[in-house]
Homo-oligomer: A and B are copies of this chain.
Amino acid sequence: MDKEKLNYYKSLGIKLTPQRLAILEFLEGNKEHPSAEDIYKAIKIRFPSMSFATVYNTLEVLLSKGIVKEILIDGSKRRFDPDVSPHHHFICKKCGKIIDVKCKYDIYLPEELKDCEIEDYQLVFYGYCKDCKKSRT
């Protein structure tokens, strides 16, 4: 990881432990929208002593700092996305694969929410991916 990024993380007041660096490196540029378990399994290879709690703790920190984003799309588990730029997602109902959607849509503030403070919005497409579409009965 380059020095600039390191300093950026430090400037946010994050204590950079080897485990956290490993998690950050794993997430950097990752397009798989991993779950906590995905992260845990991947890091465990290099850090056999890694604990599941550490993964969750670190994710909580990264979420609070806006370094990663949680995507509410998979009912069965939390998914995380290191790409915090505005974009949308598709999830396959069969295999759970998530695909980024970079389209821009013209989403105006709905009348029903005029008294609310909107921080973000996400568009989610549900269906079947290229591979699962074929193999469906």
Please report A residues at the B interface, Cβ cutoff 8 Å: 70, 72-75, 78, 88, 90, 92-93, 99-103, 105-108, 110-113, 115-130, 133
Q: How far, in angstroms, from A59 to B89 measured CA to CA in the complex?
A: 26
- B113 and A133 contacting across the interface, CB-CB below 8 Å: no
A78: nearest residue on chain B (CB-CB)? B75
9 A-B pairs (CB sep. < 8 Å): A99-B112, A101-B112, A105-B107, A107-B123, A113-B125, A116-B125, A116-B128, A117-B127, A121-B126
Copies of this protein in the complex: 2
Listed from nearest, the 8 A-B pairs whose CB atoms lie closest are A118-B127, A115-B130, A103-B110, A117-B128, A119-B127, A101-B110, A121-B125, A120-B126
Q: Which one of B74, B107, B115, B123 contacts A122 once the chains associate, using CB atoms below 8 Å?
A: B123
Residue of B nearest to A129 (CB): B116
If the complex has contacts A72-B74, A78-B75, A107-B105, are A122 and B116 also in contact, measured as CB distance less than 8 A? no
CB distance from A120 to the nearest CB of B (A): 5
Residues of B close to A103: CB separation below 8 A: 108, 110-112
Contact between B93 and A119, CB atoms less than 8 A apart? yes
